[in-house]
Amino acid sequence: MIGLDEVELRASRSSGPGGQHANVTASRIEATFDVAASQSLSDEQKARIVARCGPVVRAVAQDARSQARNRELALERLEERLARALHVRKARHATRPTSASKVRRLETKRRRAQTKRDRRRPDEG
């Protein structure tokens, strides 16, 4: 799909717990993909991604302690986000109701109408 040369990876210090290790390692990874600058996507694909995710798609990982694992996680998340944005939903074709469903609907309607009629006050005459 897209090459790694089109993805910008940036490392920074991770937030949250981790003790002294978190204060000295830049294990948080942010993967950034500029949709407009991409050469591997068609104009139609670019338009679809921009409409669903915006002009710049980002994925962040700071789950793991190691920078290498967070890099893998960030790239996986970016790939997943792009795949979801590129997915084309199948067009829904309208179908006609079956005769059995029509009968069920009318029977329910009749039953409901009868219940409401039974709740009315008797005619004063």
Q: What is the CATH number of the domain that holds 27?
A: 3.30.160.20
The whole-model pTM stands at: 0.70
The whole domain housing 20 covers 4-86
HSE-up (13 A, CA, CB side) for residue 33: 30
Q: Comparing C-alpha atoms, which of 9, 52, 1 is closest to residue 33? A: 9
Higher pLDDT: 14 or 124? It is: 14
Per the domain annotation, does 120 fall within a domain? no
User: Residues 45-84: pLDDT tens digits?
Assistant: 999 999 999 999 999 999 888 899 999 999 999 999 999 9
Per the domain annotation, does 99 fall within a domain? no
| Nearest-angstrom CA–CA distance, 95 and 105 | 16
Q: How many domains does the chain have?
A: 1
Strands, E, within 35-98: which ranges?
A: 56-61
